[in-house]
Amino acid sequence: MKKSILTLLSFLFISASVFAQNTVMVGGEAMYPSRTIVENAVNSEAHTTLVAAVKAADLVETLSSDGPFTVFAPTNDAFENLPEGTVQTLLKPENKDQLTGVLTYHVVAGKLDAKAIQKAIKKGKGTATFTTVNGARLMATMNGMSNVVLKDENGNTANITTYDVYQSNGVIHVIDAVVLPK
């Protein structure tokens, strides 16, 4: 009996340790590395605006594909900080191409975790330039020892607030502002 209880406790401890190492909490929900970007994002209360925009732009299938993708995911607060009416205008069917351009500006092909981004910044002598899925450039710099700052083509910045949310088809980095292409 003692042995089976110890075995069970060991299993639970190991399971909890593996869960803690492989999942990150975003928007109050666990993000599972075995799920796709879309499967995880729909569960994040902090990303409901982003999810609605991805659906309106018909990007669900793309972001559910094998990838891999690196997604810089703005929070609801980031969208709310855009000028009044911007989100509502972008979500209109007649603005689908513009919405798609904004959303794909937040995606880079490949799986770039924080170490890869920081390495690219170091290699670029302080600035890394990434070509986004929409073809425009997004720059990354360091602010201090570990904070990556993204800079869009308009000079606006966004901080990565949560790094390395691994997905089955890439990685998400949560950002505090929406970056916009020219």
Domain spans of the chain?
25-175
Indicate whether 17 pLDDT > 70.
no
Indicate whether 111 pLDDT > 60.
yes
Nearest-angstrom CA–CA distance, 133 and 79: 20
Average pLDDT over residues 154-173: 93
Least confident of 2-11, 28-37, 52-61: 2-11
Average pLDDT over residues 30-53: 84
pTM of the predicted structure, to 2 decimals: 0.84
Indicate whether 53 pLDDT > 70.
yes
pLDDT band at 27 (very low <50, low <70, confident <90, very high): low
Q: For the domain bounded by 25-175, which CATH number is listed?
A: 2.30.180.10
Of the candidates 130, 11, 147, 4, which has an alpha carbon nearest to the alpha carbon of residue 69?
A: 130
> What is the predicted pLDDT for the residue at 176?
96
Joined tokens for residue 128: 């890394």
Signed CA dihedral, 49, 175, 99, 38: sign only: negative
pLDDT band at 76 (very low <50, low <70, confident <90, very high): very high
> What is the predicted pLDDT for the residue at 42?
83
